[in-house]
């Protein structure tokens, strides 16, 4: 259970019975505790204030020997920051107004209220005094610091709608030098049309007391009709009736604050966003029961727009997305640009984690609306990671790291592109980091290994070639599966270097076999090397492949390059151009893992593949000497298209026989041999060559 808030109360009351009533009323409250120091004379209370601090004073209006307002003045003179509530026996609004005008925060009529009213009045007096002191301090700070900071000052008297703008504020807003004081509508008239509705809504929310302070970025239009970003801050003064009577603040020209604000969107930059995160975490620790969250939004199409339409279009995409996020977020949420493609949102004061999900869904929906860029309607595709900031968080950088971890998760929530962080993701992230280190270590020590799995002809059992398979054996992690380290290598940009090593090593091995006379006259012999889609992205990828083949003396018919459908999906046009160039050089092309993607049939007709490798999941459907209709259909389609078919994962003679009857030409799998090192592959080649490459001899050599 949470500790109850303690208030120290100084009661100046000459009547012991009235003092007892106050003590008992305060003692009954279930949520707050009160320590009451009671004095019958004001002189005793003044001596007490010299040595002790209290939160509020309850002062009887009719003290013996002095006027009630005189005692109030003496208390305020001794403790200017102390909120005072007057206690009076007569309900007289005129007298009550005099008390407030002389510095009291409120007054209560004895016997006219209950314990709850007394507690509420005490707490409101404390908060009202704190707020008025804050406004006074703010005004002093404005006067002392804005000149040096280059900020402008504005002061709005709300009842008569009179707006004062300092000379610097007029310059920032683009007003003429001689412009007299105006009203708030004149202020709004300088704000860009795309920002003014959001600005007005945020102002209205603050005036209603929904936000602690006012802070908005907006574009203002200068005399030359050029816009520039400004930051407007302010704080409203609320009267006893709960109405805003005055609001004052500053205006900063963000073009002079590049250290804290993004020049493209006008949003706080990463440094300032982290500052806000740090403050949110501290507030959460201090208050104990509040809840907050952080959203990290990545604009997936940013790089594509930059490359195709230019950097100005990329800036327009980010700016449009920023405005959409501001429109979907709540007033008071902090939005900042983390880096070129990522925007962060701090959700303060949410009721529970589910509210963060609701707001995230709203932002996702807003980002589904197209943004007009250079005459085109472009939807800013995005992903989002969510961190609910519990009491365990104290470091804003940790919050951002965990949000990035959640953002990169493949899972989605309610079919929306966002994911909420949980500790299991951190463990997966740590495992991924260990793989990154292992990859860097393997490259530095040349610790990768290439194994070769036999590919045989189903009709004759002849050895057709091998598939070169990359293996990573790390001294700390042991054997790391390719499915774990290949995606990491692609993400961190090492796949080009690793892929180049694989191609070069495989070609060197082919050249050695040719030198030994094992494959010299074998135009049907080929070694398959897997190619990542990232390797096709480079402009010199084709020239590099050809250079490796030329340097090692490998003829194109002895090399097959395998690509998965996912390798083509990211940039199909670029992949098509690259594969056509490879094809023109005589190198065979194979689609790997056929049937596991969503668009395999369309890719078969579009790309210049020679071979098709059927995934093992379809081979496993063979049972009772028969194939599934889907497998039969796939093989029939390949036959119609004239594609050479290789079945993967063949483990039984039944699977081999069924595939052969259906017209599948080649196969690989444990039935014909597991992946082996180069020495064992050489022995298999020698055995196959000396015995006509027949099935039994080759298979026994592969399995030995």
Active site residues: 648
CA 335 from centroid of its chain's CA atoms: 12
Q: Which residues pair with 560 in a beta bridge?
A: 528, 588
- Tokens 């120091």 correspond to 37
Residue 544 buriedness (CB in 10 A; 0-12 / 13-18 / 19+): middle
Burial 621-631 (b: 16+ CB within 10 A, else e): ebeeeebeeeb
Q: Return d(Cα 197, Cα 215) in angstroms, integer.
A: 15
- Residue-wise DSSP of 153-175: EEEEETTTTEEEE-HHHHHHHT-
- Residue-wise DSSP of 363-386: HHHHTTS-EEETTEEE---EEEEE
For the record, the structure tokens of 109 come out as: 């009529």
- Tokens 């009529």 correspond to 109
* Residue 112 phi, psi (nearest 5): -95, -5
Residue 564 neighbours by CB under 8 Å, 6+ apart: 533, 591, 592, 593, 597
Residue of 136, 133, 167, 140 whose CA lies nearest to 153: 167
Strands 418-420 and 56-60: unpaired
Beta-carbon-side half-sphere exposure of residue 385 (alpha carbons within 13 Å): 23
Burial 408-424 (b: 16+ CB within 10 A, else e): bbeeebeebbbbbbeee
Residue 82 neighbours by CB under 8 Å, 6+ apart: 49, 54, 56, 57, 75, 76, 129
Q: Return d(Cα 474, Cα 445) in angstroms, integer.
A: 11
- Tokens 């303060």 correspond to 348
Q: Return d(Cα 83, Cα 40) in angstroms, integer.
A: 19
CB 56 within 8 A of CB 126: yes
The DSSP 8-state label assigned to residue 113 in this structure reads: S
CB 46 within 8 A of CB 71: no
Q: Return d(Cα 645, Cα 634) in angstroms, integer.
A: 10
- DSSP tally for the chain: helices H, then strands E: 26, 26
Q: Return d(Cα 614, Cα 668) in angstroms, integer.
A: 10
CA angle 407, 410, 415 (to 5 degrees): 90
Q: Which residues pair with 479 in a beta bridge?
A: 473
Q: Return d(Cα 76, Cα 59) in angstroms, integer.
A: 11
Q: Return d(Cα 415, Cα 562) in angstroms, integer.
A: 33
Q: Return d(Cα 703, Cα 329) in angstroms, integer.
A: 63
Q: Return d(Cα 292, Cα 350) in angstroms, integer.
A: 6
Strands 342-350 and 334-337: antiparallel
Q: Return d(Cα 233, Cα 254) in angstroms, integer.
A: 12
Whats the size of the chain, residue-wise? 704
Residue of 322, 320, 379 whose CA lies nearest to 345: 322
């Amino acid at each position: 259970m949470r500790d109850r808030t303690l208030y120290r109360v100084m009661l100046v009351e000459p009547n012991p019975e009235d003092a007892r009533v106050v003590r008992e009323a305060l003692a009954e409250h279930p949520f707050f505790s009160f320590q009451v120091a009671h004095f019958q004379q004001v002189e005793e209370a003044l001596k007490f204030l010299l040595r002790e601090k209290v939160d509020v004073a309850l002062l009887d209006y009719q003290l013996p020997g002095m006027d009630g307002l005189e005692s109030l003045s003496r208390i305020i003179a001794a403790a200017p920051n102390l909120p005072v509530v007057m206690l009076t026996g007569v309900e007289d609004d005129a007298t009550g107004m005099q008390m407030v005008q002389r510095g009291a925060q409120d007054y209560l009529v004895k016997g006219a209220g209950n314990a709850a009213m007394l507690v509420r009045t005490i707490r409101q007096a404390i908060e009202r005094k704190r707020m008025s002191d804050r406004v006074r301090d703010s005004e002093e700070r404005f006067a002392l610091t804005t000149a040096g900071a280059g900020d402008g000052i504005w002061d709005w008297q709300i009842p008569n709608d009179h707006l004062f703008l300092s000379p610097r504020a007029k310059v920032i807003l683009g007003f003429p030098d001689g412009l007299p004081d105006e009203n708030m509508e004149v202020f709004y008239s300088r704000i860009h049309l795309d920002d003014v509705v959001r600005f007005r809504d945020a102002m209205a929310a603050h005036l209603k007391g929904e936000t602690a302070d006012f802070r908005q970025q907006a574009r203002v239009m200068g005399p030359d009709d050029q816009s520039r970003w400004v930051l407007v801050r302010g704080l409203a003064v609320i009267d006893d009736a709960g109405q805003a009577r005055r609001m004052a603040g500053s205006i900063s020209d963000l073009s002079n604050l590049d250290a804290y604000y993004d020049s493209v969107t006008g949003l706080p930059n990463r440094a300032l966003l982290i500052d806000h995160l740090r403050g949110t975490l501290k507030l959460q620790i201090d208050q104990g029961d509040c809840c907050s969250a952080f959203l990290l939004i990545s604009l997936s199409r940013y790089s594509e727009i930059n490359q195709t339409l230019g950097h100005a279009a990329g800036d327009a995409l980010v700016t449009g997305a920023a405005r959409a996020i501001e429109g979907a977020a709540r007033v008071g949420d902090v939005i900042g640009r983390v880096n070129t493609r990522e925007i962060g949102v701090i959700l303060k004061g949410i009721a529970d984690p589910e509210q963060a999900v609701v707001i995230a869904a709203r932002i996702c929906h807003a980002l589904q609306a197209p943004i007009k860029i250079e005459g085109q309607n472009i939807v800013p595709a995005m992903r989002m990671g969510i961190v609910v900031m519990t009491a365990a968080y104290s470091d804003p950088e940790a919050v951002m790291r965990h949000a990035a971890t959640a953002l990169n998760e493949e899972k989605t929530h309610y079919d929306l592109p966002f994911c909420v962080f949980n500790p299991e993701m951190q463990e997966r992230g740590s495992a991924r980091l260990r793989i990154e280190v292992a990859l860097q270590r393997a490259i530095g020590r040349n610790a990768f290994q290439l194994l070769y799995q036999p590919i045989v002809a189903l009709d004759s059992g002849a050895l057709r070639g091998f598939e070169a398979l990359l293996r990573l054996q790390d001294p700390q992690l042991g054997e790391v599966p390719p499915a774990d380290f290949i995606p990491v290598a692609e993400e961190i940009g090492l796949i080009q270097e690793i892929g180049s090593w694989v191609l070069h090593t495989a070609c060197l091995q082919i050249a050695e076999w040719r030198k030994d006379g094992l494959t010299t006259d074998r135009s049907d012999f080929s070694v398959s090397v897997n190619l990542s889609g990232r390797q096709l992205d480079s402009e010199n990828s084709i020239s590099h492949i050809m250079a490796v083949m030329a340097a090692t003396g490998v003829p194109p018919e002895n090399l097959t390059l395998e690509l998965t459908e996912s390798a083509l999906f990211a940039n199909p046009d670029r992949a098509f151009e690259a594969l056509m160039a490879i094809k023109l050089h005589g190198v065979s092309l194979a689609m790997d893992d056929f049937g596991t993607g969503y668009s395999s049939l369309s890719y078969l007709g579009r790309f210049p593949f020679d071979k098709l490798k059927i995934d093992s999941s379809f081979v496993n459907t063979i049972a009772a000497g028969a194939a599934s209709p889907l497998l039969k259909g796939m093989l029939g389609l390949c036959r119609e298209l004239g594609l050479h078919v290789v079945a993967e994962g063949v483990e039984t003679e039944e699977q081999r026989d069924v595939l052969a009857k259906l017209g599948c030409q080649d196969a690989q799998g444990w039935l014909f041999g597991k992946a082996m090192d180069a020495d064992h592959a050489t022995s298999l080649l020698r055995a196959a060559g000396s015995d006509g490459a027949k099935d039994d001899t080759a298979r026994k050599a592969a399995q030995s």
